[in-house]
Structure 1
Amino acid sequence: MSFVTWLKGHYDEKGPARWLAFLLELLAVVMLMALMLLTCVDVTGRYLFNNPVPGAIELTRSGLAIMVFAAMPVVTWRGGHVVVDLLDRFLPSGLLKGLSLLAALVISVAFYFLGSRIYELGERSIMRGETTEFLGIPSGYIVLYIAVMSWITALGMLTYGIYRIFFQDQAK
């Protein structure tokens, strides 16, 4: 089985969205694996050799940010968030699609403005030369990454997220 065949079989997205979903999930998975290895080495070093990994907390914080914000666009455009659908059985499908569209627009606008504000904070952090306390890693670049991923989430929700709202029934 070729990789492209595997990708088409495991990802419902169409076109470039399929590759973007795969790459973002790959980044999240690699980061999760790195965090697991870091935690294992840190705990083993701490309790067996009385020598923990220097800066493990800072690396874990950065890794968690990278992992969560890599998965956020994919989860958002797939509609993978917690949803309360108590009234879905009682409301007509047209109204449900309209409410889903309104929610997608609100989510997109919120992520856009959130990303804009976070980007300003990241630029300010870089200009001031702020670094992490122990390892001295520039923290502004992680903040800029969070802003960019928030913008990708907003764009993904406006494009592919809305596409899924209107065409997910026909795709099944």
Structure 2
Amino acid sequence: MTLSAWISAHYEEKGPVAWLAFFLELIAALTLFFLMALTCADVFGRYFLGNAVDGATELTEMGIAILVFAELPVVTWRGGHVVVDILDKALGNRVIKALGLVSAFLMSTSLYFLAVRIYELAERSIRREEVTEYLQMPVGYIVEYIAIMSWVTAGAMITYGVYRLLFVSRD
């Protein structure tokens, strides 16, 4: 089975969105595997060799940031966020869709402006050459990645999220 056929069989998204979802989930999976291997090496070194992995905390923090922000767009365009639907039966379908559109707009614009501010902080961090405490790794690039993925999430929310809300039927 080719990779293209596998993606078509396992992803509900179509076209380039399926490939983007696959790529982002691949990044998340590889990061999660790296975090697992790092934790195992750190625990093994700490208890059996008397020496932990230097900078394991910093690497874990960066790995979690990469993992979370790689999955955020995928979760967003699949509608995987927590939704409270207490009033759905009392309100009509049109009102629910209108409220969904308003919330999608508010979330995407909030993420967009948040990403603008995060990107400004990343630029400042790169300009000042800020690094992590132990490993001396540049911090600005991870912060820049967070901003970019926030923009991707904002785009996913306003495009595919709104498409799903308007054109995909609910069960």
Q: Give 1:69 shift.
A: 0.3
| In structure 1, distance between residues paired with 2:36 and 2:57 | 13
Question: What letter matches 1:70 in structure 2?
Answer: A
| In structure 1, distance between residues paired with 2:105 and 2:34 | 35
Partner of 1:146: 146
Q: Give 1:94 shift.
A: 1.2
- The answer on 1:87 being equivalent to 2:87 is yes
Q: CA RMSD in A?
A: 1.2
| In structure 1, distance between residues paired with 2:68 and 2:42 | 21
Q: Give 1:76 shift.
A: 1.2
Q: Give 1:147 shift.
A: 0.2
| In structure 1, distance between residues paired with 2:10 and 2:97 | 26
**Matched pairs, number:** 171
| In structure 2, distance between residues paired with 1:64 and 1:111 | 19
Question: What letter matches 2:33 in structure 1?
Answer: M
Question: What letter matches 1:95 in structure 2?
Answer: V
Partner of 2:8: 8
Post-superposition Cα deviations, 1:21-73, rounded to whole Å, max 9, x if no partner, equal 11111101110010001000000100111011111011001000000000001
Q: Give 1:3 shift.
A: 2.3
| In structure 1, distance between residues paired with 2:160 and 2:19 | 13
Q: Percent identity?
A: 57
**Larger deviation: 62-71 or 89-98?**
89-98
SS class of match (2:105): helix
**Larger deviation: 29-38 or 1-10?**
1-10
Post-superposition Cα deviations, 1:90-132, rounded to whole Å, max 9, x if no partner, equal 2211111111111100010010001000000000001111000
- The answer on 1:37 being equivalent to 2:47 is no
Q: Which runs of 5+ in 1 are unaligned?
A: none
Q: Give 1:143 shift.
A: 0.2
| In structure 2, distance between residues paired with 1:145 and 1:78 | 21
Normalising by structure 1, we get a TM-score of 0.96
| In structure 1, distance between residues paired with 2:76 and 2:152 | 10
Q: Give 1:4 shift.
A: 2.0
| In structure 2, distance between residues paired with 1:96 and 1:7 | 32
Q: Which runs of 5+ in 2 are unaligned?
A: none
Counterparts in 2 of 1:50-65, with a 5 A limit?
Answer: 50-65=50-65
